[in-house]
């Protein structure tokens, strides 16, 4: 980076499924090395690190980041996606076998979120303490402070309301906490970036079959999330989930979809933030 700008590399939706996937792991190592060579200051991964919600596979991602020298609070931020937290087959089996109450599903999801936050605690709190969502990382680069506002949008699987486990929802209490005047005041002098997994805008093609698909993927209370991001002065929002590389406006804020490493492992989103608070965005092909 030049001394007056900060560069963030953002990618998403790795969907790794174990050490057997040597080719995809090699691509991830190559991507991390390219980002290093490009002089990026920080990487952001917006969820779906793995495919089957298996914590052993999260650990593989952690190991790859550690080996590449990216696993530190200053250098990397991650959030979980639906595929990190929900194994649909397992959920359906439970449902068919025991017909459990919805609160049991919520509890399972929260347990999984706290396991995720424990494994990645160095990236969340920078030490041994474990924190949950939402959380804010304000990183002081000398010339400027960048605040990453990390929000969980993964919603529990439900047979009727969330049949694929891919619909998103943010707990309104978490958004209310972010809108607290003390938080808004603390973020006032930094460049604020909202980070979450689900998309603010999906297909919108007008074709009925796509619309049916939209419904299963959507972020249910996206307007509330966008409103909150506006209140806290977010300049930029980063997400994944909908596997397309896109840059668009929503709620008056620039939004970038980091696409999917699974489908194009040689592409990432690069954000350059200058000292005067202006920024530019481009998709980089290796
Ligand atoms: Fe995904
Ligand atoms: Fe996803």
The DSSP output letter for 148 is E
pLDDT tens for 90-136 read 877 776 666 667 788 888 899 999 999 999 999 999 888 888 899 99
* Partner residues linked to 5 by β-bridges: 274
Residue 129: its pLDDT value, please?
83
Give which of 281, 286, 227, 276 is closest to 254, Cα–Cα.
Answer: 281
Domain that holds residue 132: 5-285
User: Distances in Å between the alpha carbon of 24 and those of 21, 98, 203, 264?
Assistant: 6, 37, 27, 10
The Cα 61–Cα 28 span in angstroms is: 9
Distance 13 CA to ligand 2 centre (A): 7
The token pair at 191 is 């460049």
pLDDT tens for 73-89 read 999 999 999 999 998 88
88/13: higher pLDDT: 13
Residue 205 has pLDDT above 90, yes or no: no
Residue 47 has pLDDT above 90, yes or no: yes
The Cα 142–Cα 68 span in angstroms is: 25
The token pair at 152 is 């969980």
- The alpha-helical segments, DSSP class H, found in the chain are 22-37, 55-67, 82-85, 88-98, 102-119, 121-124, 172-178, 181-187, 208-217, 222-231
**How many domains would you assign to the chain?**
1
* Partner residues linked to 280 by β-bridges: 272
Distance 194 CA to ligand 1 centre (A): 18
Distance 39 CA to ligand 2 centre (A): 28
User: How far does CA 86 lie from the centroid of its chain?
Assistant: 15
- The CATH number of the domain holding residue 226 is 3.60.21.10
The Cα 46–Cα 242 span in angstroms is: 11
Least confident of 93-107, 137-151, 159-173: 93-107
User: pTM of the entire structure?
Assistant: 0.94
Distance 38 CA to ligand 1 centre (A): 26
pLDDT over 70 for what percent of the chain? 92
Q: Which residues surround ligand 1, an ion (CB under 5 A)?
A: 13, 48
Give which of 194, 195, 285, 203 is closest to 244, Cα–Cα.
Answer: 203
The Cα 206–Cα 185 span in angstroms is: 41
The Cα 193–Cα 274 span in angstroms is: 14
Residue 5 has pLDDT above 60, yes or no: yes
Distance 58 CA to ligand 2 centre (A): 15
């Amino acid at each position: 980076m030049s001394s007056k700008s900060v560069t963030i590399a953002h990618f998403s939706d790795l969907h790794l499924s174990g050490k057997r996937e040597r080719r995809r792991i090699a691509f991830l190592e190559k991507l991390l090395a390219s980002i290093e060579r490009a002089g990026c200051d920080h990487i952001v991964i917006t969820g779906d690190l793995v495919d089957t919600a298996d914590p052993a596979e999260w650990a593989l991602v952690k190991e790859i980041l550690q080996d590449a020298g990216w696993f530190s609070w200053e250098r990397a931020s991650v959030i979980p996606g639906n595929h990190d937290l929900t194994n649909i087959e397992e959920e359906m089996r439970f449902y068919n076998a025991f017909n459990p109450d919805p609160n049991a599903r919520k509890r399972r999801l929260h347990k999984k979120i706290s396991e995720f936050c424990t494994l990645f605690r160095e990236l969340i709190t920078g030490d041994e303490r474990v924190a949950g969502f939402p959380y804010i990382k304000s990183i002081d680069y000398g010339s400027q402070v960048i605040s990453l506002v990390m929000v969980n949008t993964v919603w529990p699987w439900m047979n009727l309301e969330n049949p694929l486990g891919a619909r998103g929802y943010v707990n309104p209490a978490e958004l209310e906490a972010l809108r607290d005047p003390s938080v808004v005041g603390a973020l006032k002098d930094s460049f604020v970036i909202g980070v979450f997994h689900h998309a603010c805008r999906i297909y919108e093609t007008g074709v009925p079959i796509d619309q049916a698909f939209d419904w299963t993927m959507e972020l249910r209370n996206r307007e509330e999330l966008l409103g909150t991001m506006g209140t806290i002065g977010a300049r930029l929002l980063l997400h994944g989930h909908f596997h397309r590389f896109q840059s668009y406006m929503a709620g008056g804020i620039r939004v970038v979809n980091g696409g999917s490493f699974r489908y194009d492992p040689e592409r990432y989103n690069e954000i350059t933030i200058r000292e005067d608070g202006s920024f530019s965005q481009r998709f980089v092909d290796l």
